[in-house]
Structure formats: structure tokens, C-alpha cells
Amino acid sequence: MITIKNLYKDYGKVKVLRGLDLTFKKGGIHTILGPNGSGKTTLIKSILGMVIPNKGTIEFNGEMIIGKWLYRNDISYLPQIANFPQNLKVKELFKMIDDLRPGAKNEAELISAFQLEPYLNKKLGNLSGGTAQKVNIVITFMFDSPLIILDEPTVGLDPVALIRLKKLIRAEKEKGKTILITTHIMSLVEEISDEIVFLLDGKIYFKGTIEKLKRQTNQNNLENAIANILEGSYA
Amino acid sequence: MILKVFFLILILSFCCKTLLLGQIYVESPDSIQHAINSAQSGDTIIVRQGVYKEANIKVNKPLTMLGENFPIIDAQGKGYVLEILSDSVTVSGFKFINVEQSYTKDFSAVHVYGVKNFAIVNNVFENPYFAIHIEKSKWGVIAENIIIGNAEKEHNSGNGIHMWHCSRIEVTDNRIEKMRDGIYFEFVKHSSVKRNKSKNNIRYGLHFMFSNDDVYEGNLFENNGAGVAVMFSKKIIMRKNTFRLNWGSASYGLLLKEIYDADIIDNTFEKNTIGVNADGSNRVMFERNNFNGNGWAIKFLGACYGNKLLQNNFMNNAFDISYNGSLNGNVFDKNYWSDYTGYDLDKNGIGDVPYRPIKLFSYIVNRTPETIVLLRSLFVDIINFSEKVSPIFTPDNLKDFHPLMKPVK
Amino acid sequence: MLKILKYGFFDLMRSRWSYIYFLFYLSLGFILLFLNQDVSKAVITLLNIILILTPLIGTLFGVMYYYNSREFTSLLLAQPIKRSNIFLGQFLGIGLSLSLSLVLGLGIPFLAYGLFQSTEIFNFFTLLLIGSFLTLIFLALAFNLALIFDDKIKGFGLAILTWLFFAVIYDGIFLIFMLMFDEYPLDKFALGATIFNPIDLSRILIILKLDVSALLGYTGAVFQNFFGTSFGMFFSLGLLLLWVIVPVIAIVVKSKKKDF
């Protein structure tokens, strides 16, 4: 579904991606892991067209996408920080996103799943972090897109909401969608990932299943496996 | 000779049936000149309503000429209309039209030459070249005339009331519009100009040249090229006049040039580009004048010594005072300045902080006139303010030490 | 783009600040007219306020809006919307709402006081038009700065500095230059220097329409010869338009290259 070739990106002196080659197959949940500053968000934003790479190509559904915008119709994105126009009401935000983006939506279902009804008439500026994240999640999942990208989706969520989110992610997977997730919560990774991509210093360090990673590092715990990679690389 | 004249009058008196006890009636198409010729000194000639096509009528004996319902005397563009060449002539109630326009001779509707005791009262002058032209005469009255011209350019237009080498003349209650100069005095002494309205003249409303000891009072000068010009003259008293709307890129309310010992008291200067343009003026007393909404209230040019400004109101002028050259020995005291922002702690009506009437920008514009394009720029406001707080450029001795808190009434 | 414009517009129309801005002009208009009942005098007073305030407000709102809506902008960036449309939409949305605050805020009191009976109506509309132009120009400049500098403090500081430059510093340099070279004929220079600063250009355009133009004297006549003709009028309006268009193009170009 996504083919990335020889991708380079730097922010001035800081080189973030250094010749990254990566392919995501259609379907399944792909987790992108890596230490802080390894280029996870840059990679995601490059796919979304929010970051313009210095070099390299990104192909999405057989189409070169750098500098284009229409392909984003097929992507739903959950950004890391949920920050909305302060003066807008929750309801109005939904309506607005609805208005901006064509296609079928199922926000009503999601609103009730995350129990957002009482907040519909509140201004977005007055929401708590967790509630804002729920709103963020609704906006992401309300569209029926083949690719869903989630950047730290669990931030600020209470356990109930977290369960609902996991259920949601699985349900989407069942529908045959491709899901990219970045997270630091290893339990979540272990629970839902079909494939792990480990980024280190702007390159792919590891790509494969959790089992493969454990085997490769001789660890039976994912957290330790990751720690092992990091220690190994810095040793 | 005397016999001859007597004989002539005798014959004429038989010809004209209208001759009756010193009153001669003239009716169109009779000739006014004939009536004059046949009249005796001291007679009254009454001209009935109608149109009289006569030019260069010579009044050569003391007569009273009265028009009934404004008879029209039409000079048909052939020189003067009426020439007064004798003492003690009164002309009243006429309408004069079609004076010859000339580039070589100053033709006028009424020309007075070398006489005493004349009166020109209540006449109407329509598009005259010059309306009333008086030379070398004394003890005259010019009152209640209406003079309306159609002057467009200075070089081919004449003045309303033009005097040369005269003295003891009173010019009162006339209305003069659209001439070159409304009233022009050259070498005129001991004369007065009162309660006239001089408007829309292309040069000056009132113009003094080399004229001393004159008074003008209670006049209105509106929308002239410049309101009043007083040049090379001494001891002129200017009181209670209104100078309004003399507005244009080179317009003044009052232009003073090389004058000494004048009094400018109780006048109003309103909405003139420059209220008073004082060029080389010395010992002039400005007292209780109102300067309201002018571009510059008073602009001093050249050397101006010993002028006094007392109890004037300076309200909402773009610049109150501007000067170039030296302003030595001038006194500013007890004026009201609407831009004054000081305080009066002892409540005596006099501000406790002296006022500096010259803004920095006004000083800069005087140095480099082109800088005026920055008028109303924020930068200009800022430098004016900082100069006010800590003066560096504007002269330190130029201050009103007793600025009033309220306008003088 | 229209949708973004609509949301930017309503977002700002809803905010406290644009109410305050609107109410400020409304009360200013009423107070000015209440104090002297004279539409033409009020126009002169307004001139100074508009020349200082519209660029300042345009600048401040521009950077403020950009930085405050940065995350929301990135939400939009992930949607299938063309990048340049997002920023153009936002720019036009704010520009429209600020201009509307100006036009309505001043228009209502002036209409209430019989503007249509006044001969000043044309000058008043010129003033509003120029105020709107200045709003858009400085809004676009502010957007550019905000796009260049991710650091809010830097962006704010430079935006204020830009305003300060055009509103004050430029005239200071202009003045010093004229004083230094006052033995040369300066009219042409003054004309040129005026044209290249949108605030100066606006100031002169309005002053020439008002009575105070007589104070400009001979230099004013040179200006009148230029701006008084229909060519000069179109030329200067074209220049103001150019002052909007060039920064707007810069917004489009920069937004295409920027990482979010």
C-alpha cells in the first residue's frame, strides 16, 4: 500500500531521516517504534504530506504523492496533540470536519461510544485533555478511509476509553484497513500489532513481527527486547 | 468769459423743460452729460430709471447726482463711465456697466481725480474693470456700494475700490466680490475702511501699499487669494475684522510685509492656510485675536523685532507659530493655546508651565519645506512630543510664560 | 478554500477580540460625531487613527491567529485540502472579518449622522477602502513572518517591528534623508519615498482629498499633479493592491515548502 524509497529529511543541522526504505502492505496493524527523535512523527508526516522530504519518493496506492493532496481523502490521521479552535463548540467542529471532507461518516456511533454527548455544546477550549483526545479520536475514525494513522493515540485516555479505542482499532482491522500507530505503550504494541517497524537514527533498524524481534534479541519480553536493541546500538 | 458761460446756461435752461429750482430730472433717452452741462453748481440731478448709453460723463461742477431705482449707465466699452473732476460731488443710486477693459489704462466706472469732499454712495457696479478709482483726492466717502466683478486672472482684471495718493477717505459698508483686489490703497493716509465685505477676490480683499496712519475695522474678508495685504506701511490699525477661508496653497488671512507699529486687535482668523504671514514686521501688537483652525496661525519670516502677542486665542491650528530667521525681542504672554497640556495648581487661570508655541516639525518644515509631506505621520507626532518634553532644537527663549487655561472671551 | 475562509471568518467573528475591535470603531465613530457633529472634521481625526491602528491590528491579529491556530492548521493539513488554500482561506477569513469590523464599526455611526447628506461621503469611503487595504497588507506581512518563524516570540517581535518600521522608522529615515539633502530638489524624491511605504501612500492619498492638502504648498502641488490624475489614482490603488498580492504570493510559496 505504501512504498517509501530512499527518504531523506533534515531540519537544518538535525538529520532525521537518512535514506529510509520502507514498505507497508495493505491490511493489518503496523506499529512504528523508536526512541525519541528517531523520526517516527517525521515519517508519518511525510506520508501525510505535512513534512516535505529533502529527497526520496513516497508511493501510496501506486501513486507518487509528494506535493499532492487529493490522496489524503484515503487517510485518517490522529495527531499527537489535540488542539482545536478555542471558540468552536464540539458539535460545530464535527460539522465543520464533515463539511470539509467528503464521504460517509459515522460520528453519531462514535460519539455515543466515547460518551461525548454531554460535551457537544461545550467550547473546545474548555475541554479536559482526555475529552479533547476523545474528540480527536472521533474525528479520525468517523471517515471510512483505507489507511488510518494514529500518533500516540492513548494520551490522556481513561481505561474505559482505552478499551473502546482498542476495540475500535481491531474493528477497523477486521474491515481490512491498514493502520499505522506510533506509541510508547508496549502493552498496547504487544496486544494489537501485526508488524513492528523499529526506527533508529533515521533508518529502519528492524521490521517484522513481535516474535521475530523477541527471537532476534533473545528476549521473551517486548520491553526488554527494545531495551536490548537500544543498549546494543549505543554500546 | 463769464458772460459767455452765463449765456450758455441761459440758452440751455430754455431748452430743458426739466430745469426746476436746482433739481434737474433726466429721463431716458436724454443725455446725462447734457443735464450736467446745463446744471448750476449745487444743483441736484435726478436720473430716472432706464438705460443710458453714455461713456466718459464728466462731472465738472459741484453736483448731487441721484439715480431713481438704479438707472443703468452703460459705457458700451468706451472708456470711463463717470469722471468726477470737481469738488463736492455726490453720486448715488446708479448702476454702472460695461467699462472698457484695457491693458494700458485703468478705466473705471467712477473715476475721481484731484477733488475734495466727494461721496459715492449706494451704487451698483457690474463687471467693471475698475469700479471706483480715486486719485489725488481728499475728504471722500465711499459707502454702501455693491461691486461684483468676474475676475479670473490678475493681469486682465481691476480693483474694486482703487485709491492713489489720497487722504481722509472713509470706505464703509461696501460689498466687493470677484475683483482683483477688493480695496487697494497706495499712498493713502488717514483713511478708514469699515464694515465692508470683501469676498472671492482673486488677489487681496484689501491691499495697502506705502500707506500710513490708516484704520480698518469690522470688515469681513472671505475666500480671497489672500485676505489683506499690508505692505511697506506704518501705523495701520486693524481691529475687529474677520479673515476667513482664505484657503489655498499660497493663501493668507493677513499678509504683513515691511511694516512698522501696527495694531492687530480683536480680529478673528479662521480657516486660513496661513492666518498671519508676517514678513519683516516690527513693533506689531497682536492682542485678543482669535486664531481658529488655520494651517499656520502666524508665520514669521525674515527679521521680525519687537512684536507683542498678548491674550490671543490659538485654537486647533495645525501649527501655531512658525518662524525662520531671528525672532528677537518678541513677547508671547498670556495667550490661550489649545495645544497646551500644562496644569494650573494655584487655580489662577494661568498655566504653571510655560508653553512653547513652536513645534519641532514646524521648525523642520521651515528649514526644508518638502518635509511637509510627512504631515500627520506618527513619526512627526512622536518627535513633536519628545521635543516638547525635552527641547533641543526649538529656541529656548521663545515661550509663553503665562499661558491661559481658558480662552480669552 | 471558501470553506476555510468561512471557518476562519466565523472563528474570528466569534472571538472576543473582533468584538472589541468592532465596538472600538463603533464607539469611536459615535464619540467623534457626538463631539463635533461635523463629518468632515471627523474624517480628519479618523485618518490618523486608521493609519496607525489598521496596520497594527492587522499585524497583531495576523500573528496571533496564526500561532493560536497552529495545531488546528495541522489538523486541516492532514485533510484532503490543498495547502495553499488553507492559508489563503485563513488569510481572507481574518482579513474579511477585520475589514468588516472597520467598515461596519465606522459605517454605522456615520450613516446614523447623515453621511449621505455630506459632501465627505467620497472621502469617507476612500478612508474605509484604504483602511481595508492596510489591514490586508499588514495581515499578509504578519502571516509571512509567522510562517517563517516557528518561534512565537520571534514572530511576534518581528511583526511588531515590521509595523513599527512602516509606521514610524521609515518616516524617520525619510525625514533625515530630506534634511541631509535639502539643497537638492526633493519633490520627486518625496514622491518616490511616499509610494514605497503603504502607510505613507495611504496618508498622502487621503490628505490630498482633504482641505489640509493646502498646507502641503508647492510640494503638495507636485503630489497633486501626480495623484490628482486618474492615472495617479489607479497607479496608487494598484500599488496598494500589489502590496497585498506580493505578500500573499509569498504566503503561498512559503506554505508549500514548510514542514508542520
Report which of B289, B358, B288 is spatially closest to residue B319, judged by C-alpha positions: B358
CA–CA min distance C248, chain B (Å): 27
Among all residues of chain C, which has the CA nearest to that of B381? C168
> What integer pLDDT is reported at residue B17 of this predicted model?
42
pTM (2 d.p.)? 0.78
> What integer pLDDT is reported at residue C220 of this predicted model?
75
Number of domains in chain A: 1
State the count of interchain CB pairs (< 8 A) between B and C: 83
> Helix or strand or coil: residue C124?
helix
> What integer pLDDT is reported at residue C155 of this predicted model?
93
Instruction: Lowest mean pLDDT of B90-104, B280-294, C219-233, name the range.
Output: C219-233
Instruction: Lowest mean pLDDT of B62-66, B310-314, C12-16, name the range.
Output: C12-16
Among all residues of chain B, which has the CA nearest to that of C195? B373
pLDDT band at B19 (very low <50, low <70, confident <90, very high): very low
Whether C187 sits inside 8 A of B370 (CB atoms) is: yes
| Inter-residue contact B267 to B244 (CB < 8 Å) | no
> What integer pLDDT is reported at residue C170 of this predicted model?
94
C-alpha cell at position A182: 506510533
| Inter-residue contact B105 to B81 (CB < 8 Å) | no
- Please indicate if any CB of chain A lies within 8 Å of the CB of C82: yes
Among all residues of chain B, which has the CA nearest to that of C176? B371
The helix (run of H) or strand (run of E) holding residue B146 is strand B146-148
Query: Which of C72, C83, C260 lies nearest to residue A45, judging by beta carbons?
Result: C260
What are the distances in angstroms from CA B101 to CA A134, B76, B131, B163, B225?
Answer: 95, 11, 11, 18, 22
Chain C hits for B373, CB-CB cut-off 8 Å, are 190, 194, 204, 216, 219-220, 223
Largest CA-CA distance found in chain C, in angstroms, rounded: 62
C-alpha cell at position B105: 489704462
pLDDT band at B2 (very low <50, low <70, confident <90, very high): low
pLDDT at B193 over 90: yes
Chain B hits for C47, CB-CB cut-off 8 Å, are 376
Chain A hits for C258, CB-CB cut-off 8 Å, are 52
| Inter-residue contact B98 to B77 (CB < 8 Å) | yes
> What integer pLDDT is reported at residue B7 of this predicted model?
54
Residue A218: burial class (beta carbons within 10 Å; 0-12, 13-18, 19+)? exposed
Query: Which of A50, A84, A99 lies nearest to residue C78, judging by beta carbons?
Result: A50
pLDDT tens, position by position, C81-110: 888 888 888 898 889 889 999 999 998 988
> What integer pLDDT is reported at residue B298 of this predicted model?
92
Output the average pLDDT for chain A.
Answer: 86
pLDDT tens, position by position, B324-354: 766 667 889 999 998 888 888 988 889 998 8
Whether C215 sits inside 8 A of B380 (CB atoms) is: no
Whether B370 sits inside 8 A of C178 (CB atoms) is: yes
Helices A222-234/A210-217 angle, 10° precision: 50
Q: List Cβ neighbours of B24 (8 Å cut-off, separation of 6 or more).
A: B16, B18, B35, B38, B39, B43, B44, B45, B46
Chain A hits for C79, CB-CB cut-off 8 Å, are 72, 97, 100-101
> What integer pLDDT is reported at residue B15 of this predicted model?
47
- Please indicate if any CB of chain A lies within 8 Å of the CB of C20: no
ipTM: 0.84
Output the average pLDDT for chain B.
Answer: 87
Q: Which residues of chain A have pLDDT under 70?
A: 82-83, 233-235
Q: How many angstroms separate the CA atoms of B383 and C182, rounded?
A: 19
> What integer pLDDT is reported at residue B187 of this predicted model?
95
Instruction: Give Cα B343 to chain centroid, integer Å.
Output: 40
> What integer pLDDT is reported at residue A86 of this predicted model?
74
Among all residues of chain A, which has the CA nearest to that of C257? A52
> What integer pLDDT is reported at residue B18 of this predicted model?
43
**Single-letter code of the amino acid located at B316:** N
Q: Which residues of chain A are at the C interface, by a Cβ-Cβ cutoff of 8 Å?
A: 9, 11, 45, 48-52, 67, 69-73, 75, 77, 79, 81-88, 96-97, 99-101, 139
Q: Tell the residue number behind the cell numbers 517484522, with chain if given.
A: A208
Among all residues of chain C, which has the CA nearest to that of A74? C80
> What integer pLDDT is reported at residue A181 of this predicted model?
92
CA–CA min distance A46, chain C (Å): 9
Whether B295 sits inside 8 A of C212 (CB atoms) is: yes
Q: How many angstroms separate the CA atoms of B71 and B29, rounded?
A: 11
Asked whether C and B share 3 or more beta-carbon pairs under 8 angstroms, the answer is yes
Q: CA-CA-CA-CA torsion for A48, A52, A58, A59, nearest 10 degrees?
A: 60
Cross-strand bridge partners of residue B125: B96, B147
Write out the DSSP string of B223-289: S-SEEEEEES-BS-EEES-EEE---STT-EEEEEEEEES-EEES-EEES-SEEEEEEEEES-EEES-
Q: Is the dihedral of CA B343, B344, B349, B350 positive or negative?
A: negative
Query: Which of B251, B378, B379 lies nearest to residue C175, judging by beta carbons?
Result: B379
C-alpha cell at position B200: 472671492
| Inter-residue contact A77 to A107 (CB < 8 Å) | no
> What integer pLDDT is reported at residue C169 of this predicted model?
94
> What integer pLDDT is reported at residue C77 of this predicted model?
84
Chain B hits for C172, CB-CB cut-off 8 Å, are 379, 383
pLDDT band at B293 (very low <50, low <70, confident <90, very high): confident
- Please indicate if any CB of chain A lies within 8 Å of the CB of C83: yes
Instruction: Lowest mean pLDDT of A141-145, B17-21, B262-266, C249-253, name the range.
Output: B17-21
Whether C78 sits inside 8 A of A72 (CB atoms) is: yes
Instruction: Give Cα B297 to chain centroid, integer Å.
Output: 19
> What integer pLDDT is reported at residue C199 of this predicted model?
93
What are the distances in angstroms from CA B14 to CA B4, B7, B31?
Answer: 16, 11, 16
Structural domain spans, chain B: 18-224, 359-393
More confidently predicted of A104 and C146: C146
Instruction: Lowest mean pLDDT of A111-125, C157-171, C223-237, name the range.
Output: C223-237
Chain B hits for C219, CB-CB cut-off 8 Å, are 369-370, 372-373
How large a percentage of chain B has pLDDT more than 70? 94
Asked whether A and C share 3 or more beta-carbon pairs under 8 angstroms, the answer is yes
pLDDT at B394 over 60: yes
Among all residues of chain B, which has the CA nearest to that of C202? B377
Q: How many angstroms separate the CA atoms of B190 and B260, rounded?
A: 16
Q: CA-CA-CA-CA torsion for B53, B59, B64, B65, nearest 10 degrees?
A: 10
CATH superfamily of B18-224: Single-stranded right-handed beta-helix, Pectin lyase-like (2.160.20.10)
Whether C77 sits inside 8 A of A96 (CB atoms) is: no
- Please indicate if any CB of chain A lies within 8 Å of the CB of C154: no
Range of the domain at A39: 2-234
Q: How many angstroms separate the CA atoms of B222 and B154, rounded?
A: 18
pLDDT tens, position by position, B125-137: 988 888 999 999 9
**Neighbours, chain A (3 or more CB pairs < 8 A):** C
